[in-house]
Every structure is written in structure tokens, then in C-alpha cells.
Chains A and B, each alone.
Chain A
Amino acid sequence: MTGKNKALIVVGTILILLWCLTPVAWIISLSFKSQQAITNGSPGFFPADGDGAGWQNYVDVINDEQFRRAIFNSIGISLIATLLSVIIATLAAYAIARLEFKGKKLVLTLALVIAMFPVVSLVGPLFDMWRAIGIYDTWLGLIIPYMSFTLPLAIWTLSAFFREIPWEMEQAAQVDGATSWQAFRKVIVPLAAPGVFTAAILTFFFAWNDFVFGISLTSTERARPIPAALSFFVGADPFNRPASLLAAGAVVATIPIIVIVLLFQRKIVAGLTSGAVKG
């Protein structure tokens, strides 16, 4: 590699870091501006002298009953949806990667169609249906659509992982007298665990990020997840928001994502790319 190329790569790397981190730094910086300063107008990237709020915005956010409730809802709903979705996707992905059965193509096509489905076109009928069967504004009412919409991604990611597993071991177990089901449970599940874990992370991201279902299928803090709660944090005038308070809330809502990314970046990249690009 020539010196010129090296310099280009270094510049490129710095640009990527700036691209990715500037808005994050901005929202953190904003969360330290005082609410007084926001109301009066406090332009600039960093809080001006005397406009700083210390941790006050964070204290206010954490003490906000609705915000705490929304965080609790989001964690609960996302974890349950992730768990169930990954279990169901694992079964389906195993069948797709390993078994010959009629309609395999159909399952993959269906998953593809659903991954691209315009979710907003569903909120009307779902709103109506959920109210009719009494799960409107409940955790279950969000868990079901989250599962449905994370299944395609989970199925793709998992079936891609499953194809790489040394399946002779499964056959060996079957030769030793294990049934298909036993071979699946005792031999393959432990081997597949890393892939399953990756699918779980991506599923969790989806559920944590969802906004459309979160605002349309809830009406109170009973089930309202964090993105919806943030958007309702606003007050009447959308052009005069308590920006710094919201920024503090946004930072708190982003912490779980950053922790997951820091711990598992390798797995996430593998999962994202294996599911979509290569077989």
C-alpha cells in the first residue's frame, strides 16, 4: 500500500467516525443545556457559559413517572418479543436449512414479502382488531406484531448460520439411534447458539426501535414503549419542545443500544451481512 493510499484510508476512517459520532455527541451535549437556556434560545453545539444544566435534565427524566414506565414497557416488551421470536425462528430456520419439505420456497418468499411490508398499512385494521379482542394498549398487543416483523430477519440470519454448521455430527447422532428431534436438540442447538444469539440482538434492536406500532396500538402508559413516549413528551407545540429534557431522555433510551453494540459488534456485523448478502 502506497503512502498516499494510507493517508486516504486514515482520512476516510476519521470521516466515518465523525459521521457516526457527531450527532451522538450533539444529543449528549444538548442534554446538558438547561431548560431555561432552551426556552430563551441557546444556539451552538456546546452549552454556552451559564447555560449548562449539569445532570438536572437526567434527574428530571428519571424522576418522570411516565418515562420510567415507558422504559420498563420497552424492556419488557422487547425482551419477551425477542425470546419468542427467536425460538420460533430457530425452528423454522432449521427446517429451511436442513429438511426437504414442500413449500420451503413459499416460506422464504413470505418472509421476504413481510420484511418489506409497509407496516403503516396494517395499523388501521390491527387497531380495529386489537380493540375488538381486547388486547389494544397491552403488552401482548405489541409483542405479537413485533414477533411477526422480526421473524423474517431472524429466519434469514439463522438459516444462513445453520448452513455453515457441520451437519455430519447430526447424522452421526442419528446413526447412533437419535431421532431427528433428538439430533436437533442435543447436537445442533449448542452449535447454533452463537447464530441464535446474533438473531436475538437484531430482533431486540427492531423491537426497541419500533415507532409505528408503538404509537398506534397504545393509548396510555400501560404499554407505551419508549420511542412513542419520547414523541409524546412534547407538549402541545411541536416547534417549541423541551429540547434538552428530550435529549436526556433520548440518551437514556440509547444507552442499552450502545452497550449491546460495544459488547457484540462482531456478532452484529456478521448477522447483518450473512442474512442479506451471502448464503
Chain B
Amino acid sequence: MSTTVAPDDKRDVRRAERAAASDRSKAENALGLKLVAPAIVLMLIVTAFPMLRALYLSLFDYSLTAPDDRNFRGLGNYVTALSDPLFWQTTANTVLIMVVTVAVELVVGFAFAMVMHRVIFARGIVRTSILIPYGIITVVSGFAWQFAFSYKNGFVNYWLPFIEDNFDWFGQYSSAMAAIMVSEIWKTTPFMSLLLLAGLAQVSEDMIEAAQVDGATWWQRLWKVILPNMRSAIMVAVLFRALDAYRIFDNIFVMTAGAEGTESISFLTYRQVIEQFQLGLGSALSVLLFLSVLLVAFLIVKVFRVDLAAARQES
């Protein structure tokens, strides 16, 4: 569509051609902007604008229980948040949940994708089943697992041979975190496996067969042929799921309500703002949460060199 190649002093015909082309590209440009404008406005109304407002409010001592008593604190709220061990503990919980769930989901999801790729019977049933955890409400998943782990009405203790029947999963930190992660992993592994399945479908069968003919073992084919060739699909899946896991909230709210030190950073922020009406401090936490998500995204993109544009063939 570019028309900027020829210098200005060329012949009239060229100039007229260029003018026409440039008119059309101008019209196209205008139409394009018109078509994306509503989407842009809506996305910004609910994100950029509130985020700027959070940035502003975070500089004040502002509680909704005393809205008129609003004092400028500068960076005081940030100092309060960052010097509170609770902030670091919730961040550590969040990172732990992110790392464990994504790692498990990657392995299980890949195994599922391998099976689905070669599935010989009940293709439709498998695909329908795999979508049910994906589609189910997270709150419902949280309830289902909370009750499953309950020693009073659940079944987990009775199915696991090495667990006492009256073991209280929500009675201490480590087992409560494990229960939360089980619910998270159960619900989101299918999504991971579908993304990996799409990546797997793009690996050429010829290449795998060629490797087989050359005497590569199953393990070698997996590590030297299949995985390198679906690298971008894996990275995109990891990026999406990691950032999603970093925002974990629903499962914690439903399963433990933050008891036994199982709060995540999202849960802490929510509690400050909605339950305690501390809009100033809560806004500072909101900003910190936003920045930490950016940092996580940046780290994943840099460390694993995720090329989103290439992955989507967007260039």
C-alpha cells in the first residue's frame, strides 16, 4: 500500500496515480481507525482510566469509611505495602502457585495432547469432556474440590491410602495450598492441552518418520524433533497460563478465604479495597499487582524468548 517510493518531481501521470493511491490508502486508514475505535475506547475505559485513577488514589490516605478525610501521603502507601511482610508472603504464595501449577499443567497437558493427537476412539467424547473443566465456573470447581478434600463430607481421604481419614486439608498451610493448586490445575490443564494439541498438529509427520527411519528412539524423537518444532506453541501456552495463574483469586476465595496464610496478591488487594474500604492503600497494592504482572510477562518473554508475533504469524 506504500506510495512513498518515487521522488516528487516525476511525471504527472505518476503523480496522479500516486494521488489516487494515497487517497485510497487515506480512506482505508480512516475506515480502519473507525472500525477499531469502539473496541479501543471500551478497552481503555475499563483499564487505562481506572489504572491511572488507582495511580492517583494510591498517593492518598483515603478510606471509603471516611471519604472527606483524604490526605496526601506521597509514596507512603507504597512504603507501607512494601515493608509489610504480608505483601511479600502473598507474593511468594502467588509465585509458588504459578510455578507449580504451570509446571504440572505443562507435563500433564502435553501428555493429554499426545493422546488426543493419536486418539483412535471416542474422539468427540474426549473433546467434549476436555472442554467441561475449561468451561466450568471456577467457583464451582473450587467448591467441588473443597468438598472433595473435606474430611467430613469428602472422598479424597478415603481414596488416598496414605492419608488419615480425619486429616483436615484446610487445617495447615501446605495441604491447603495443595488443595487450591489441585483445583486450579484440574480446571486449566484442558486449556493448556488444547493449545499444545494445536502446536503438535503443526509438527510435520514426515519429519518424525524420517527421524524414526534414522533410528531415533521415541525419547529422542520427542526431545529432538517434536518439542523443538512446537516451541512457539509451548511458549505461548506457558505465557498465557502463567499470567492467568498469577492472578489467582476465585479458588482461594472459595476454598480457604485466605486462611492459614494462603492469600494471593490478588486476594490481598481485594480485601484491602472491597472489604476494608482502604482505597488509598488498596490502590497502591493494585498498582504493585499490575507492575508485578508486567514484570512476570517481561521475564517470561525475555527468558524464554517468546515471539508472540511469530507465533501468531502477525509480522
Interface presence of A175 (CB below 8 A): no
Instruction: Tally A residues with Cβ within 8 Å of B.
Output: 105
Partner of A43, one of B153, B186, B250: B153
Interface presence of B152 (CB below 8 A): yes
Q: In the docked arrangement, what's the CA distance between A221 and B133, Å?
A: 27
A211 & B250 in contact (Cβ 8 Å cutoff): yes
A268 & B28 in contact (Cβ 8 Å cutoff): no
Chain A contacts for B148, CB-based, 8 A: 23, 26
B36 & A128 in contact (Cβ 8 Å cutoff): no
Instruction: Tally B residues with Cβ within 8 Å of A.
Output: 117
Q: Is the interface of B mostly helix, strand, loop or mixed?
A: helix
A122 & B132 in contact (Cβ 8 Å cutoff): no
A41 & B152 in contact (Cβ 8 Å cutoff): yes
One digit per residue, 1 when the CB lies within 8 angstroms of any chain B CB and 0 when it does not, for chain A 154-174 equals 011000100000000000000
Chain A contacts for B154, CB-based, 8 A: 43
Closest chain A residue to B313, Cβ basis = A279
B residues adjacent to A (C-beta < 8 A): 1, 25, 27-33, 35-36, 38-40, 42-47, 50-51, 53-54, 57, 64, 108, 111-112, 114-116, 118-122, 124-141, 143-145, 147-148, 150-155, 157-159, 165, 170, 186, 189-191, 194-195, 197-199, 202, 232-233, 236-237, 240, 243-244, 246-247, 249-250, 253-254, 257, 266-267, 269-270, 272-274, 279, 282-283, 285-287, 289-290, 293, 297, 308, 311-314
- With A209-B135, A277-B311 known, 11 other A-B pairs at CB within 8 A are A23-B148, A43-B154, A44-B155, A88-B42, A95-B31, A101-B36, A120-B270, A148-B46, A212-B250, A250-B139, A276-B236
A residues adjacent to B (C-beta < 8 A): 1, 5-6, 9-10, 12-13, 15-17, 19-21, 23-24, 26-27, 30, 33, 38, 41-45, 88-89, 91-92, 94-96, 99-104, 107-108, 110-112, 114, 116-129, 144-145, 147-149, 151-152, 155-156, 160, 180-181, 205, 208-209, 211-212, 215-216, 226-227, 230-231, 238-239, 243, 246-247, 250, 253-254, 257-258, 260-262, 265-266, 268-269, 272-274, 276-279
